[in-house]
Structure 1
């Protein structure tokens, strides 16, 4: 077999050799061999291992597809994730100061999507195998919180009564202060008997809420999620930060950037991850495209004590971004767009004189593209804080501080 030298890691965490040839579970500097299928190397054997290679902390790593980078030491992974952001900026001819990365601890993920299917002996739940549709049981998972891992038993029970023989269930399990919040898709159509069975599982297994194909079929108690000690009840499947540690790290960065502002606009506000805590010291206008999330944010604000005024608006910021004259009173802007970034909104932000912008991103490439627009308009990219709350994965998040031209010197 042909030997390959791994030059670097790609954006998905695979090793990349000349070609390019992509070799999973390899590290820079390693000499490997395997069976080449297209541009992918299969049945990889490491002939010369890197000194950064370690024994994976989880016994499921080789078979489970939930993690990509447990074979590398923590310092290597941290440096690689910072470099992913740095290289995305360099591609746009940008540079800035990088603060030390913040990495969430093991077993801290408070949300996970399990696959579950019926078997001849009952049911099986877990993660999909690496590059496979096979479901791998993960009883000793080192990634998710123990409470989330308890959700596998729930997923198996749900598959036993509600999965078809051909398609596995997709079961999203989220920890809350009042119990597990479970949302299921790809299940059988709801009918009377299935509703009764699902309600019984919700009660017997102590779930807070059970949603089936976007319909809440049972709720023992509203699921309560705390945003910096401010309680909300998010709608089923709503976006939440993956770990409490990651949420706190991103919030601390946003609070630093917006410190002193008395009027803040929060774009792509979700359920209020940033808007509600910021309302302790500033009036906030929250804008989000999903009406259900804005409703949760508004209810959370009304029930909380000691917060300043929070107004909200349902608006598709991709099709109808806020215009400069709608942002004149804001002393700071916060935005946390999805992976596509905020291209249309950034064009309008670049026309403003908003003193400070806090940009939270889950995609370094779209972030760098948007940052280029702001810098071309005269803004300064002061610093970037990389946050790794998807530990052992190729996923990278960050918070960045931008300052308007008139705020310098």
Structure 2
């Protein structure tokens, strides 16, 4: 049965939230201030049926006739409102751990769009192979051949058909295929995941097709199948040949916004560490002004960073250390003599590493995060150890989604 409700706010996942006599009701596609008609689908969830009174932040969704994929859950919300809401997400999470700090306006870092994404290739009940992204909270794939994606960069858009061609070769296996695609300076890198170990005939077929498609590299579960050109990205003035499936910030504009704030946070530090360093997103910019100890658990990523640093000019000393910082965080003694530490962990954050930094004598800390919740927890640990949060900068490189990055500068 449908009911009319007024939306008070957005939840953390971007759903409209209505307060009802039965508790909070989460409605995907609804915005604050709106009167909507919705039909309950669960204890605290409902499906939007109609917007009876639109809110001030509602805009006409791009391609309104297209199925909505899970990556653009806020396509009906004006971009300035998205930025304000994402800033509030950061503030709310900080407040929840007792931190009051300056949170600056959220930076729009969409730029030309995403240069890295995971495509899903699925054969439906109608035996049609579809390549694209899944619908919100569902497994159905929205085919990107039929709809133009507004968040992908022009280079990444060219990957849809190559992924389709490669996935078609694997359909006889009857397994779902995912493709992590990165648009690099050298061309497309595609890392196929899901099919498992392949018989030699399929591996050979993929190799031949990759050459015909002009890919820079094709890999399978992180192992190179064929490399025609090393997939290269530029971190500042340094070219880095990234490993198969190696991490890269989603947009170039997002990376630059983060780097600018990270380098600013170093101040006059001359001896620094970059923890969870990846292939050198921050390290290679930091090294233009300070010595850097780069620590990372992925050996291929660290090897790519090390090669790039050794062949670059104009950098101060870069030392690399392979280390799983989740299981074996840098201790206070390991950090002795450093002036500043940067850490950029996965979504789970760096709880134990933050405890070790809190007990150290490092004067400046820069915390980079893609999860406001774990960022707030880690900052609370650091402030408990005597640090002061000087500023927090939210950065939005995932337009139309509920994701937000943030860079926090701390000192003591």
TM-score over 0.5 for the alignment?
yes
> Judging changes above 3 Å, is the alpha-carbon distance between structure 1 residues 21 and 122 closer, same or farther for their aligned structure 2 residues?
closer
Once the two structures are superposed, residues 71-98 of structure 1 have per-residue CA deviations (whole angstroms, 9 ceiling, x without a partner) of 1111111100000000001111211112
Q: Mind listing any 5+ residue stretches in structure 1 that lack a counterpart?
A: 405-409
How much does 1:121 deviate? 7.4
Matched residue SS, 1:109: coil
Tell me the distance in 2 between the aligned counterparts of 1:148 and 1:369: 35
How much does 1:334 deviate? 0.4
How much does 1:229 deviate? 2.4
Asked whether the 8 Å contact 1:55–1:71 carries over to 2, the reply is yes
Asked whether the 8 Å contact 1:122–1:160 carries over to 2, the reply is no
Aligned residues: 404
Matched residue SS, 2:105: strand
Q: Which of 47, 53, 62 does residue 57 from structure 1 map onto?
A: 62
Q: Which of 207, 212, 215 does residue 220 from structure 2 map onto?
A: 212
Counterparts of 1:89-128 in structure 2, within 5 Å, are: 89-105=94-110, 107-118=112-123, 123-128=129-134
Tell me the distance in 2 between the aligned counterparts of 1:95 and 1:188: 48
Q: Which of 169, 177, 184 does residue 185 from structure 2 map onto?
A: 177
Tell me the distance in 2 between the aligned counterparts of 1:109 and 1:60: 23
**What root-mean-square deviation, in Å, do the aligned CA atoms of Structure 1 and Structure 2 show?**
1.6
Once the two structures are superposed, residues 105-133 of structure 1 have per-residue CA deviations (whole angstroms, 9 ceiling, x without a partner) of 36410011111134777632111123322
The 10-residue stretch of structure 1 (126-135 or 200-209) with the greater mean CA deviation from structure 2 = 126-135
> Judging changes above 3 Å, is the alpha-carbon distance between structure 1 residues 82 and 367 closer, same or farther for their aligned structure 2 residues?
same
Counterparts of 1:148-297 in structure 2, within 5 Å, are: 148-164=156-172, 166-187=174-195, 189-297=197-305
Tell me the distance in 1 between the aligned counterparts of 2:258 and 2:65: 30
Instruction: Say whether residues 1:382 and 2:390 are aligned partners.
Output: yes
How much does 1:167 deviate? 3.3
Tell me the distance in 1 between the aligned counterparts of 2:4 and 2:390: 44
> Judging changes above 3 Å, is the alpha-carbon distance between structure 1 residues 37 and 345 closer, same or farther for their aligned structure 2 residues?
same
Matched with 1:5 is 6
How much does 1:188 deviate? 6.0
Q: Which of 24, 30, 35 does residue 20 from structure 1 map onto?
A: 24
Tell me the distance in 1 between the aligned counterparts of 2:173 and 2:70: 23
> Judging changes above 3 Å, is the alpha-carbon distance between structure 1 residues 106 and 280 closer, same or farther for their aligned structure 2 residues?
closer
Matched residue SS, 1:401: strand
> Judging changes above 3 Å, is the alpha-carbon distance between structure 1 residues 16 and 61 closer, same or farther for their aligned structure 2 residues?
farther
Asked whether the 8 Å contact 1:59–1:140 carries over to 2, the reply is no
Matched residue SS, 2:367: strand
Matched residue SS, 1:20: strand
The 10-residue stretch of structure 1 (159-168 or 374-383) with the greater mean CA deviation from structure 2 = 159-168
The 10-residue stretch of structure 1 (213-222 or 250-259) with the greater mean CA deviation from structure 2 = 213-222
Asked whether the 8 Å contact 2:115–2:153 carries over to 1, the reply is yes
Once the two structures are superposed, residues 124-164 of structure 1 have per-residue CA deviations (whole angstroms, 9 ceiling, x without a partner) of 21111233222112241110011111111011101211135
Matched residue SS, 1:371: helix
Q: Which of 30, 33, 50 does residue 29 from structure 1 map onto?
A: 33
Asked whether the 8 Å contact 1:106–1:144 carries over to 2, the reply is no
Matched residue SS, 2:250: coil
Once the two structures are superposed, residues 335-369 of structure 1 have per-residue CA deviations (whole angstroms, 9 ceiling, x without a partner) of 00111111101111111121110110111111111
Matched with 1:407 is none
Asked whether the 8 Å contact 1:280–1:307 carries over to 2, the reply is yes
Matched residue SS, 1:344: helix
Once the two structures are superposed, residues 302-355 of structure 1 have per-residue CA deviations (whole angstroms, 9 ceiling, x without a partner) of 121111111011111112111111112111100001111111011111111211
Q: Mind listing any 5+ residue stretches in structure 2 that lack a counterpart?
A: none
Once the two structures are superposed, residues 230-252 of structure 1 have per-residue CA deviations (whole angstroms, 9 ceiling, x without a partner) of 11112111211100000000000
Q: Which of 70, 75, 80 does residue 75 from structure 2 map onto?
A: 70
Matched with 2:153 is 145
Asked whether the 8 Å contact 1:208–1:222 carries over to 2, the reply is yes
Tell me the distance in 1 between the aligned counterparts of 2:150 and 2:60: 13
